Amino acid sequence: MNSRRDFIKLAGLAAAGAAIAPSFAFAAPAKIVGLQLYSLREELPKDLKGTIANVAKAGYKEVETYGYSVKDGYWGLDAKAFKALLTANGLTAPSGHYGMDKFISTGDQEELKSYIEAANILGSSHITVPYLGDNLRKAEGDWKNVADKLNEAAVLCKAAGLKLGYHNHNFEFIKYGETTGYEIMLKGTDPNLVDFEMDIYWVVRSGNDPVKLFTEFPGRFPMWHVKDMDKVDNTINTEVGTGTIDFKTLYKSAKLAGLKHLIVEQENFSMDPYKSIKQSADYVKKSIL
């Protein structure tokens, strides 16, 4: 800073940035680490309470749920009981993965309303779409319908104090001329209603650059799935920090992305799962956050 003129110029740029995108311009990026519970899908049905306790012992403060239904709740516990279990272990659940194919294909709100009720009991901020069935994404026009349905679902979520999120795999990056399903959704959804949970592994595996997406759609990615890519076989995950993805560099763009929740997920294990998730948590806290 060489002069008052420089200060005024920088202050003006900062103010302009805040005016353009006040939701993320000065937002502090995530500083705690969460775990997508799908990582422990083998352990959860066997010992729910023990598994949740081990997640907390491994150093996590947040979890992301999956697989909820009115019939089975969260691994046999209703939302209130599961919330109590999380609280007892010092955990919160800001997001959950809830299957949305039925709503997207038919517009039936019953299932979505049950998700909203459960998510509010948990104190979540997001209901996140985890996947899309093949029948919902066969052509470019299908993606436009998905975007419309995400907006509709997001309106219902907003009325209940929640936001809708969308979690990607790699099929979203299939080309339709000059566009992709991911781009159609990002451009076709209301940024005030629909957030995106970027699974960085899948973005990289599809040959795309996360930072390029952050730059083109700033503030749209408040949640990241952090899972590393095995150095030998890019179709499997490995502990964060031991693979090929440079998360340290990516985190430099956390503010641009609008990051609020950094969530570890791992689908393949070459060691004890609890040791694995602890190793990833330790690396994230020491070397990334």
136-183 pLDDT, tens digit each = 999 999 999 999 999 999 999 999 999 999 999 999 999 999 999 999
- For residue 250, CA distances in Å to 7, 68, 188 come to 28, 31, 26
Q: Which pLDDT tens digit goes with each residue over 179-228?
A: 999 999 999 999 999 999 999 999 999 999 999 999 999 999 999 999 99
Q: Is the pLDDT of residue 12 over 80?
A: no
Residue 28: what pLDDT? 65
pLDDT for 14 beyond 90: no
Whether the full predicted model's pTM is greater than 0.75, yes or no, is yes
**How distant, in Å, are the alpha carbons of 34, 71, 116, 135, 269 from that of 288?**
13, 39, 32, 38, 22
**Backbone dihedral angles phi then psi of residue 111, each to the nearest 5 degrees:** -65, -45
- Cα(81)–Cα(78) distance, integer angstroms: 5
Residues in CB range of 58: below 8 A, 6 or more apart: 35, 274, 277, 278, 281
Average pLDDT over all residues of the chain: 92
One-letter identity of residue 245: I
Short-list 75, 70, 67, CA closest to 49: 75
CA 24 – CA 18 distance, rounded (Å) = 8
Burial of 87-107, coded b for 16+ CB within 10 Å and e otherwise, reads eebebbbbbbbbbbeebbeee
* pLDDT grade for 29, boundaries at 50, 70 and 90: confident
- Given a contact cutoff of 8 angstroms between Cβ atoms, the answer to whether 97 and 66 are in contact is yes
CA pseudo-torsion sign 58, 60, 61, 67: negative
Question: Who has greater pLDDT, 5 or 123?
Answer: 123
Cβ–Cβ < 8 Å for 203, 168: yes
**Residue the block writes with tokens 């955990």:** 91
Query: In sequence order, which ranges of 71-194 are alpha helices (DSSP H)?
Result: 79-88, 101-106, 110-122, 140-159, 181-188
Instruction: Give the tens place of pLDDT for each residue, 57-115.
Output: 999 999 999 999 999 999 999 999 999 999 999 999 999 999 999 999 999 999 999 99
pLDDT of residue 281: 98
Share of the chain above pLDDT 90, in %: 89
Q: How far apart are CA 62 and CA 34, in angstroms?
A: 4
Q: Residue 16's pLDDT is what?
A: 42
pLDDT given for residue 19 in this prediction: 41
What is the reported pLDDT for 27? 57
